[in-house]
Amino acid sequence: MSPERFEHLAQAYGGDLRRWPVATRAAAADLLRTRPELERRLTMEAATDALLDASPRSVPSAGLRARVLAAAPAERVRAAWQAGWTWLSGAGLAGACAAGLAVGVLVGPPPVQDDLGALAVLLAPYDPLAAVDAEIVG
């Protein structure tokens, strides 16, 4: 763990390593043993934690809670809308696939010709030896 990562985690989770994610605690403790100056960061964050813990917690009134719950949409309406949307998105995907297949079949590549001379003319700009062959033939 880098010192920068340690400071980021200290800001996010506070000065008590027990509040940090379990996967980071051992690495943080190891870093603290090798870099004791990082203890100052934990002390600062612990002071912030104490202020936050001491602040009053606001609890919503029963009236506010009732108004919020009354304004929430019914679960069955939401489920019906989501089921309809799932069907429509599947139909749209199937339609797009069918259209792509139709366009690919109708506007496919031109049929292959057996004329090797025409093929040589088409490929000449991409073949460095074509000029040499043209001089020999011509």
Could you give the dihedral angle defined by the CA atoms of residues 39, 40, 46 and 47, in that order, rounded to the nearest 10 degrees? 160
CB contact at 8 A, 49 and 15: yes
Q: What is the pLDDT of residues 12-29, one digit of tens each?
A: 999 999 999 999 999 999
pLDDT at position 133 over 70: no
Please write the tens of the pLDDT for every residue from 114-125: 556 666 666 666
Q: At what angle do helices 39-54 and 3-13 cross, to 10 degrees?
A: 10
pTM of the model: 0.42
How far apart are alpha carbons 7 and 24 in whole angstroms?
12
Give the pLDDT band of residue 99 (cuts 50, 70, 90): confident
